[in-house]
Amino acid sequence: MDTQDQKLPCDACGGTFAFSTSEREFYQEKGFNPPKRCAGARNARKTSGQQERYPNGCPFNGGTAGQAGGRPGGARPRPGSQPRPTLTGTGEYRNGEIVKYMQERGFGFLRGDDQQDYFFDATAADGLGSVRPGVRVTFEVVDSPRGPRAQNVTAE
């Protein structure tokens, strides 16, 4: 290994800085790339609280050119959680009536004319103006891991 210090250009201030042999050994041992800023520029950046920003979203969190990366709201899935299965409708529409709707929790139940109860959430009732018990609705039946549920709920 070369025992001489290397002179590297600083991307922040345009000057050069020494990259010592011991620093190079440490960086190689850890698998790091050589620094791009001098110590003064690195310290100034740390104290200013400025961080690098990716204009097209973080490339390590799903961002691509022209698209913000990551999950909405910065939410991360719980460890061990599984992605939600995509529910596909059978194309079979039924009629029924809303039995219970808990607005604060965003879900409810409706009873089909076949006397079977179906779960639905607020996203399934987007086209429904008034969500309250007694409202007659038409809905699509969807099979879910927890049983049948209603999707595309609309008022009759």
Give the model confidence (pLDDT) of 115-150 as tens digits.
988 888 877 776 666 778 888 888 888 888 888 888
What is the span of the domain harbouring residue 56? 6-65
Same domain, 12 and 61: yes
Task: Please count the CA atoms within 13 angstroms of the CA of 111 that sit on its side-chain side.
Answer: 6
Residue 81 counted as domain residue? no
Residue 40 counted as domain residue? yes
Same domain, 60 and 117: no
Q: For the beta carbon of residue 80, count every other beta carbon within 10 angstroms.
A: 5
Nearest to 84 by CA among 38, 146, 19: 146
Q: For the beta carbon of residue 102, count every other beta carbon within 10 angstroms.
A: 10
The number of domains in the chain is 2
SS3 112: strand
Same domain, 60 and 98: no
Confidence of residue 84 (pLDDT cuts 50, 70, 90): low
Residue 76 counted as domain residue? no
Residue 21 counted as domain residue? yes
Same domain, 106 and 146: yes
Q: What CATH number should be reported for the domain holding residue 138?
A: 2.40.50.140
Residue 134 tokens, joined:
């007694």
Same domain, 15 and 60: yes
This prediction has a pTM of 0.43
Same domain, 108 and 151: yes
Same domain, 99 and 143: yes
Question: What single-letter DSSP state applies at residue 124?
Answer: G
Give the model confidence (pLDDT) of 33-54 as tens digits.
888 888 888 888 777 765 555 4
The H or E element spanning position 42 is helix 39-48
pLDDT of residue 14 exceeding 80, the answer is yes
Token pair 């079979």 is found at 92
Residue 61 counted as domain residue? yes
Residue 27 counted as domain residue? yes
Token pair 């990366």 is found at 69
Same domain, 138 and 95: yes
Q: Give me the pLDDT at residue 81, please.
A: 64
Same domain, 51 and 101: no
Same domain, 93 and 151: yes
Same domain, 59 and 104: no
Question: Which residues fall within 8 angstroms of residue 109, CB to CB, at 6 or more apart?
Answer: 98, 99, 100, 101, 117, 118, 119, 120
